[in-house]
Amino acid sequence: MTSVHRKRQSEPTASSWVVRPTEQDEVAAAGSELIGGPVGKRAAIGLGWWTPVRVIVLTALGMFALGMVQKLPCYNGGWFSGQGSQYAHACYSDIPHLYNGRGFADNLVPYFDRIPQETSGGMEYLEYPVLTGLFMKVAAWMTPGGTIVDQEKAYWLINCGMLMVCVAVIAVCVSRTHPFRPWDALLVALAPAFALTSTINWDLLAVALTAAAMLLWGRSRPLAAGVLLGLATAAKLYPLLLLGPLLLLCWRAGRWRAFGAVTLSTVFSWACVNVPVMLWAPDGWAKFYTFSQERPVDFGSFWLIISQRTENPLEDANLYAMILMLLGCAALAVLTLYAPRRPRFPQLAFLVIALFILTNKVYSPQYVLWLIPLAALARPRWRDFLIWQACEVIYFLGIWMYLGYNSSGDDHQGLPQEGYQLVILIHLAGTLYLCAVIVRDVLMPERDVVRRDGTDDPAGGVLDRAPDQFVLGYTARSRRAAAERGDAGLGGPVGWGTPPDGQPVARPVGGSAGGPVAPLGE
């Protein structure tokens, strides 16, 4: 064997650095028995057509298709034969109802034309952000003629086709965000709540743009990440909250230039979408924001439990929710700046979005889509993920049973008010549980499964392996001592970390697997 051949055999390949969940996660290993068991040592992973990314994309599309099948009773008549049937089969979707209810059947232009309201008899504007409104209108342009029922069916199918593209984007972005852990994206692809809620509304558009923004941030491209984050905010408001974790992380690492770039490009891309509508249709553009402000306490929130228990409409719920949100953000700031090792970006991203969901005055079933990709990146453990998903599935079934109970007249078939309150508490408990284990990982980084091989923050981009510049509770002397000890994230050497057993593990450094290997003990 020549020296060239020996060198090629000794060089690491991309597949040799891929983390296999069945080797680290007992639940994943047990579940793999359904398809033949864990991967063997001599398996050729990533060398043929069936790369991890392709497998995950096809799995996600398959689960999305199963979610469409779950809506079949409604497609075959449940949406058009009164409310009871769609609630009984748990197959409700906003999409077919809003085709006619928001003026798309009459070819009205969102934000410019007022929409007749059947219930109140008044006229209103579309209450969705501008990019989502454009998405809805494009689907309406492609909807063929026919009876109104035929048009609503076609409109739902066309939207499903467009949302399926979003699913593929999410699967690709999540699987590529952590270069050595692509299989963690199977958590997204196989999430039952993902399949059940994907076609209720248009949230997948914002989720896909957010996932792409996080991927580009992880590739150290803050300008491009900001552009996509701004577009995501133009589709749904929640992605804007991710600037908060980036502010804290860049503060701790002293990466102010990157934070400035992502912030300015976020504002610029958001403005490019919104300012034209804001100038030419100010009342229609403002409807989303006034609707969000004026919306009363609604389904899924703990505010609803308080309101129902006290028989108080809680007119100041916005103020209370804002106070709780600010207090939670302050706690996250202390956590970020005080933690023994700088938290990973997905960990803080999950926590801040979960905080918004927990304190908000409404929780629609599809809001779980915001958290699923973040959960897969922040805490890729099947046991914890499935516990949370079980709680979300229970809530998904519970809300339709509750609505069915209220719409079934004197028969009262479904879930009464007390049962629905219990379902809300289960949803809240599941989300709080996942938040708790992520906070534990932040405070005890040796428990973080992503960092067990010496990884720092694969989704951090410029933050990955960057030394700290500001840490609460650490003096300059203690930081210098940490650097001398080689503690990762406290000014230690770049390119390797320390796993729980105390033995440093070499891994590729740079942008992708298979790159140069950092020396150990230097």
pLDDT tens for residues 290-328?
Answer: 998 888 899 999 999 999 999 888 888 889 999 999 999
The answer to whether the CB of 235 falls within 8 A of the CB of 132 is: yes
Residue 229 has pLDDT above 90, yes or no: yes
DSSP string, 230-292: HHHHHH-SGGGGGHHHHHHHHHHHT-HHHHHHHHHHHHHHHHHHHHHHHHH-HHHHHHHHHHH
Window from 73-87, 346-360, 368-382 with minimum mean pLDDT: 73-87
pLDDT at 85: 87
pLDDT at 131: 97
The answer to whether the CB of 388 falls within 8 A of the CB of 326 is: no
Residue 185 has pLDDT above 90, yes or no: yes
Report pTM.
0.87
Q: Work out the mean pLDDT of the chain and round it to a whole number.
A: 85
The answer to whether the CB of 398 falls within 8 A of the CB of 419 is: yes
The closest of 239, 199, 156 to 63, measured between CA atoms, is 199
The better pLDDT of the pair 296, 430 is held by 430
pLDDT at 161: 97
Residue 36 located in a structural domain:
no
Q: What is the mean pLDDT of residues 502-508?
A: 39
Q: Residues 510-520: pLDDT tens digits?
A: 333 333 333 22
Q: Residues 102-144: pLDDT tens digits?
A: 999 999 999 999 998 776 667 889 999 999 999 999 999 999 9
pLDDT at 81: 81
Q: What is the mean pLDDT of residues 429-433?
A: 98
Residue 431 located in a structural domain:
yes
| Domain span including residue 395 | 55-74+146-451
pLDDT at 5: 40
Per the structure, how many domains does the chain have?
Answer: 1
The answer to whether the CB of 127 falls within 8 A of the CB of 287 is: yes
Residue 221 has pLDDT above 90, yes or no: yes
pLDDT at 294: 87
The better pLDDT of the pair 43, 27 is held by 27
Residue 356 located in a structural domain:
yes
pLDDT at 207: 98
Residue 215 located in a structural domain:
yes
CA distance 151 to 159: 12
pLDDT at 38: 58
Residue 283 located in a structural domain:
yes
Residue 83 has pLDDT above 80, yes or no: no
- Residue for token pair 């047990």: 30
Residue 49 has pLDDT above 80, yes or no: no
The confidence band for 488, taking pLDDT boundaries of 50, 70 and 90, is: very low
CA distance 71 to 90: 8
Structure tokens at 338: 């005080």
Q: Read off φ and ψ for residue 121, nearest 5 degrees.
A: 80, 0
The confidence band for 23, taking pLDDT boundaries of 50, 70 and 90, is: low
- Residue for token pair 């046991």: 383
Window from 32-36, 45-49, 247-251, 387-391 with minimum mean pLDDT: 32-36
Residue 418 located in a structural domain:
yes
Residue 153 located in a structural domain:
yes
Q: Read off φ and ψ for residue 456, nearest 5 degrees.
A: -100, -80
Residue 388 located in a structural domain:
yes
Amino acid at 291: F
Window from 34-43, 307-316, 418-427 with minimum mean pLDDT: 34-43
